[in-house]
Structure 1
Amino acid sequence: MASLEFTGGTRKTILEEMIKSQRLSIFLSCVCMLLLLVACGPQKNDPSRFDSPSHGTINISVDESFKPVMEEQIAMYETSYPGTNIIAHYKPEAECLRDLFTDTSNRAVIITRGLTEKEEKFLRDSLKYIPGWNAVATDAIAVVVNSASYDTLFTLNRLEQQLKGKINRNQQIVFDGLNATSTVRFVVDSVLKGAAFDTSVVKAARTSNEVLEYVATNKNAIGLVGINWIGNPEVPEQVKMLEKVKIAYLECMVCEDTPYVKPM
């Protein structure tokens, strides 16, 4: 598994660009803060008509790679506050941002980066307002292979060369889409340094779960997915999936005890 970390609107590599960390950014603040802000208006009539931290319904758009962990968080919040209903729409990153710019019913966006200067200018010029955002958590991208594969050691250079189609062309690399997703954006920006990948060796799946299913049924496939789709030992479905796929090791140039690492 490779690990990349970002702050603000850009990402930088750590562990010699071997371990990728993604930060979830919540635009318009976190769900609780949103509910509090809506609740600050006058409430002269029936209180049930207004949102509050313990009552109401909101719609949010969430990067699809965060679905497992977000479903856990939403379920916990709604259990703690039975009067609340958080409707999450899981989409590629670009579609989440589109909702922020155009969907007036959308109350928050949870993605892997902050706003760019261009995006802030658009909101400032069109809405006279720039939504607040903050980094609230970290995630990682895991490199997964078929359980029958013996090819479990990767370097960043090898991944770059394979994505460009220069080596190991018999191995299919699978993403959760070929564009508009945070995983693809990260790989293009931080692994390929802006270069294009070879679409003849890169396959697009519609969701992270489809990436895992494809790798599970194709011995020569290599999948790139958010670690929360495969790295939680407390989720039975993920434990079951680890019988069909396994997480690969990536070279670590700064680790003292081992040349290769993986998240679990």
Structure 2
Amino acid sequence: MKKIIFLLIFAVGVIASCNRKKTNKIPETRTSGTTKILVDESFSRILDDQIMVFKSEYPDASVTTTVGNEYKILPKFLNGEVKMIILSRMLRPSEESYYNQLKFAIYTDRFAIDGIALIANANNLDTNITVNEVFDIMKGNSKAGKKLVFDNASSSTVKYFMDSAKVTQLPKVGVYTLQTNNDVIKYVSENKDYIGVVGVNWLSESNKDILSYLPHIKIMGVKNVTGKKGSDSYYKPTQNALINGLYPFLRNVYLINAEGRDGLGTGFANWLNSPRGQLIVLKSGLGPHKMISRDFNIKNTN
């Protein structure tokens, strides 16, 4: 009899425990729950900042990221393994087939404008370069012997310049790759004859890993090809030049959401384009998707 009573008490305890677990489960809403995002490594720093502030405001939200180059992370999105991704381009129609078969809507939101900066050693006399000169280097036709150094051969930045210069493979001389944006900054600070190619927000003073190298590099001005916007002068990737399209080497930053539900992924996507999310973009050095209006409260002191 005692054994039966013990088993009954144990069973009731197990059921109560399960009920408590169900009750304590964080609900899936736009500001709580869990979501995963694949992130192009070029934009990992700006995403880290966004997630940190978002989670501080919504402590029940768990946003985790997988960072890598486009070739590494895109297949995980295309096969549905992870249904949110940060890219520098929109999906091609052929890349939407998996979600079209499931009849999942894909929402694409631009939240920033990225400038790809060209940097030179501080002792290099060259302060400006034209788009045509950059394309000549990408084609292996540079007569000035200028050399470009990128983060890595599979990065979206390399792909951007290959597409822009209309080349299908990198030349044997004149273009070199390392591993990361920080590697490029360090390399150019120590080597006078190379031009580094990095995202603007990697040059921020909040990037503690490269603070000691910043005094030894300079950002070059770039002049666009004749007939295009930005061909009247040499422009640096300032926020004004990015927003107004004057700097030639710029690209949009998109969050692509195919989660198929109104949950935390949708909430985070909306956050990126909220005034607070756009302020973080502004502070990072990138161009915001939309300008933040400033309201002034004028008091009558008469």
1:246 aligns with 2:222: no
Distance apart, 1:130 and its partner CA:
4.5
- Report the count of equivalent residues: 215
TM-score, scaled relative to structure 1: 0.72
Query: CA deviation digits over 1:173-227, x for unaligned, max 9?
Result: 1112223x2212211112x124433133211122211121221221111111111
Gaps of 5+ in 2: 1-20, 239-302
Query: CA deviation digits over 1:128-155, x for unaligned, max 9?
Result: 4342222222111111111221122100
2:89 to 94, 105, 113: 113
Supply the distance in 2 between the matched residues of 1:87 and 1:220 (Cα, whole angstroms): 40
Higher strand share: 1
Supply the distance in 2 between the matched residues of 1:97 and 1:204 (Cα, whole angstroms): 21
Supply the distance in 1 between the matched residues of 2:45 and 2:172 (Cα, whole angstroms): 28
1:184 aligns with 2:158: yes
2:179 to 202, 206, 213: 206
SS in 1 for 2:153: coil
Residues 39, 86 of structure 2: 8 Å contact kept = yes
Which AA in structure 2 matches 1:248? M
Change (3 A) 1:205 1:76: same
Instruction: Quote the residue 2:195 is aligned against.
Output: 222
Identity of aligned residues (%): 29
Cα RMSD, aligned residues only = 2.6
SS in 2 for 1:219: coil
Q: Where does 1:1-264 land on structure 2 (aligned, <5 Å)?
A: 45-46=22-23, 48-102=25-79, 104=81, 106-125=82-101, 127-168=102-143, 170-179=145-154, 181-190=155-164, 192-230=165-203, 232=204, 240-252=212-224, 254=229, 259-264=233-238
The structure 1 segments of at least 4 consecutive aligned residues displaced by more than 6 Å after TM superposition are none
Residues 152, 248 of structure 1: 8 Å contact kept = yes
Residues 63, 92 of structure 1: 8 Å contact kept = yes
SS in 2 for 1:114: coil
Residues 117, 199 of structure 2: 8 Å contact kept = yes
Supply the distance in 1 between the matched residues of 2:87 and 2:193 (Cα, whole angstroms): 30
Residues 162, 169 of structure 1: 8 Å contact kept = no
Change (3 A) 1:170 1:261: same
Gaps of 5+ in 1: 1-43
Residues 150, 198 of structure 2: 8 Å contact kept = yes
SS in 2 for 1:61: strand
SS in 2 for 1:215: helix
Residues 169, 201 of structure 1: 8 Å contact kept = no
